């Protein structure tokens, strides 16, 4: 790999990531779904782990994480298409939030998605995009409830293609 | 983070060496956001082998790397005390990620 996964991490975090107890998928086949229709005809949604939320929505619960450092809020939020910068907030203790508060597109690039639609490269944009807070050491609730909940919302919105973005 | 992407068996991915919080580029850099998105859409159309990771050639400018401005100002809770670090080390060694 030419891309260095650990370049921007403090040493303690990088070392922990190298020995992290990842869910063991080594004995499983990698899942695969072929695109259902041409990309130019596909309705696209973004899903980001960056902890963004609407200012009138419930923030991700950082106080509980401060009290219980191995807990991360497993819930997810919806961000409407075309949301303005002043209506976006960020709640994530593992990256500096100020850049996203200056321009949320550096975490959730909705403006670029609109450009690409205008160029005719995709067929449509979902009315909502989904966000969650990506610090999830214990993944149980996220895997059993949030991920299926997000998938259900994306299906309800007739989304054909989802671009997932890390924080 | 292609290290994790590879480990957990993500079907198709695009990797870029940008910092946390600016993973699509600097604030206001709409051209970079657009370029990365086009790479992702291209990957959807071209990747045929499950587990393929396409690495993008973009690099974070050295002068910006020296700013180290992606680190949160508030200490990360699990690194904020020795007790919390010990709890995390115990989880790393013995924990169940699906708990």
pTM for this entry = 0.96
A25: in domain: no
Among candidate residues A93, A132, A76, the one with its CA nearest the CA of residue A13: A93
A3: in domain: no
What pLDDT sits at residue A157? 98
Residue B3 has pLDDT above 80, yes or no: yes
Range of the domain at B49: 2-94
B41: in domain: yes
Domain count, chain A: 1
- Rounded to the nearest 10 degrees, the angle between the axes of helix A11-18 and helix B82-94 is 20
B63: in domain: yes
Pick from A38, A52, A96, A123 the residue to mutate for testing the B interface (most B CBs within 10 Å): A96
CB proximity A145 to B under 8 Å: no
CB proximity B90 to A under 8 Å: no
Pick from A25, A109, A140 the residue to mutate for testing the B interface (most B CBs within 10 Å): A109
Copy the structure tokens of residue A36.
Answer: 């259902």
Q: How many CB pairs under 8 A join A and B?
A: 194
Average pLDDT for runs of 10 along chain A of length 167: 90 90 90 95 98 98 97 98 98 96 98 98 98 96 97 98 94
CB proximity B96 to A under 8 Å: yes
Range of the domain at A50: 37-165
């Amino acid at each position: 790999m030419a891309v260095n996964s650990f370049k921007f991490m403090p040493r303690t975090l990088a070392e922990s990531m190298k020995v992290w107890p990842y869910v063991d998928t080594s004995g499983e086949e990698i899942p695969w779904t072929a695109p259902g229709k041409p990309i130019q005809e596909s309705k696209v949604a973004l899903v980001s782990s960056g902890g963004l939320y609407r200012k009138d929505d419930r923030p991700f619960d950082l106080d509980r994480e401060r009290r219980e450092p191995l807990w991360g809020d497993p819930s997810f939020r919806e961000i409407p298409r075309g949301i303005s910068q002043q209506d976006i907030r960020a709640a994530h203790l593992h990256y500096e939030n100020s850049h996203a508060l200056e321009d949320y597109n550096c975490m959730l690039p909705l403006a670029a998605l609109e450009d690409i639609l205008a160029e005719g490269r995709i067929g449509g944009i979902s009315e909502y995009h989904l966000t969650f807070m990506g610090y999830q050491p214990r993944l149980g609730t996220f895997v059993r409830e949030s991920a299926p909940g997000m998938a259900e919302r994306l299906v309800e919105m007739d989304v054909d293609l989802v671009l997932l973005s890390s924080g | 983070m292609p290290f994790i992407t590879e480990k957990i068996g993500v079907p198709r991915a695009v990797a870029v060496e940008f910092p946390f919080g600016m993973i699509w580029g600097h604030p206001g850099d709409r051209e970079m956001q657009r370029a990365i998105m086009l790479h992702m859409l291209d990957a959807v159309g071209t990747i045929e082998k499950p587990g393929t990771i396409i690495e993008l050639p973009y690099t974070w400018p050295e002068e910006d790397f020296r700013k180290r401005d992606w680190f949160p100002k508030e200490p990360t809770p699990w690194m904020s005390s020795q007790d919390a670090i010990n709890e995390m080390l115990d989880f790393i060694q013995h924990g169940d990620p699906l708990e």
